[in-house]
Amino acid sequence: MSVPRARLLDLMKAQCHVFATTYNPEGVRMGNKVLRQRLRGPSLAAYYPRKVATIKDVKRIFGPHLTTWDDAEEDRFEYIEELKQRGKSNPKKKRGPPATKLAPAGGKKK
């Protein structure tokens, strides 16, 4: 003897209610398996060491009251200056409104 489908669905619904699972009689993919997993964020954040204060942070906090020296920043400025002297640096950014295009000087061509 076979049990009617409606009775099996009622049993499955009660079972899902008791064991706190999702009632999904059609078997639709809902992503519950992924959502039940533990979050990875805290363990990933704990993997990397805590950030220590840098010279930039000290400059930002104390401002002009404290004289600081950042070797890496000075080296970067020196490198950029060398590039500029050789003509290999980035082009200057455009300032002002865009220029309007002029019509060609010969009139219309057929």
Q: What is the pTM of this model?
A: 0.38
Within a domain: 25: no
Whether residue 68 lies inside any domain: the answer is yes
DSSP state of 104: P
Domains: count for the chain = 1
Residue pLDDT tens, the chain, 110 long: 788 999 999 999 999 999 988 899 998 998 888 888 898 888 888 888 888 888 888 888 887 787 878 888 899 999 999 999 999 988 888 888 887 877 666 656 55
Residue 39 lies in a domain: no
Q: Considering the domain boundaries, does residue 29 fall inside one? A: no
pLDDT at 53: 82
DSSP one-letter string for 23-34: --TT-----HHH
pLDDT of residue 94: 86
Q: Are 13 and 22 in contact (CB under 8 A)?
A: no
Residue with tokens 């009632």: 23
Please report whether residue 79 resides in a domain. Answer: yes
Does residue 92 form part of some domain? no
- DSSP string for 35-65: HHSPPSHHHHHHHSPPPPP-HHHHHHHHGGG
- Cα 21 to Cα 7, 29, 72, 73, 91: the distances in Å are 19, 14, 56, 57, 61
Question: Residue 60 domain-assigned?
Answer: yes
Residue 77 in domain: yes
d(CA 74, CA 68): 11
pLDDT recorded at residue 82: 95
Q: What is the extent of the structural domain holding 61?
A: 55-86
Euclidean distance between CA atoms 99 and 92, whole angstroms: 16
